Amino acid sequence: MSRKRFSKEYRTYGEWLKAQPRTTEYARRIIRFHERFPNLSLNELRNTRLKDHDLSTASWNILNSQQKRDRKLSLQILRLMRKDVPFSKAVEKTGIHKKDVVRNLGKYLYKSKGKWKVTATDRIEVEMLIYDRDAGQISIVTTNSIDRSLIGSYFNAVNRALKTGDSSLLKRFDDIQIIDANGEEHSFVTDLDELYEIQDSQEEPEFLEIYGN
């Protein structure tokens, strides 16, 4: 299948780029957008608004099931890249299409000196499991990478505490609260006996999708 023509004057983006110095703000904008959306024509790039191709700001609850799956996979890529895994290898590990990653990570994924980079933090919503002090095991919609990282650290501590019986591993989570997308506050279960009860109540322990930052 042949690639569509880039513009009336230029068959490819490469021809457009080399035709003359592309130093104006308009040209730099086209170059930036082409890096994100390489299949768009010049006219499409000219009329593109980043928010039209950006799902990162969309609320979790308005996404359909496929979009939720893509967001979770994209956040896995975000986590890997924050651990210095190159973008291409991170995409390969998850199997999601590059264009879907770009759309889901939005402004939190960018190019610098020809290489894909990610921001240190983000404000992307995603559903996660927690052990809530009042409600027990529930799912909440988190709103940022700091809370995702905190929940991941909490579950790591829970797993170690349950294996060793050392409740001191949970002490630092006593006074921490997570505020979900609905503005509701959640405190972590840090009582070891209660955690054993939660664990015992699970006929088949669920797979916990724990995010880093």
Residues 6+ apart with CB under 8 A from 65: none
What are the pLDDT digits (tens) for 168-199?
A: 999 999 999 999 999 999 999 999 999 999 98
Its pTM stands at 0.74
Domain boundaries of the chain, sorted by first residue: 13-48, 60-118, 126-201
- Give the C-alpha separation, 178 to 188, whole Å: 8
Q: What is the number of residues in the chain?
A: 213
Distance CA 54, CA 9 (A): 29
Neighbours of 90 (CB within 10 A): 23
For 139-179, write each residue's pLDDT tens digit: 999 999 999 999 999 999 999 999 999 999 999 999 999 99
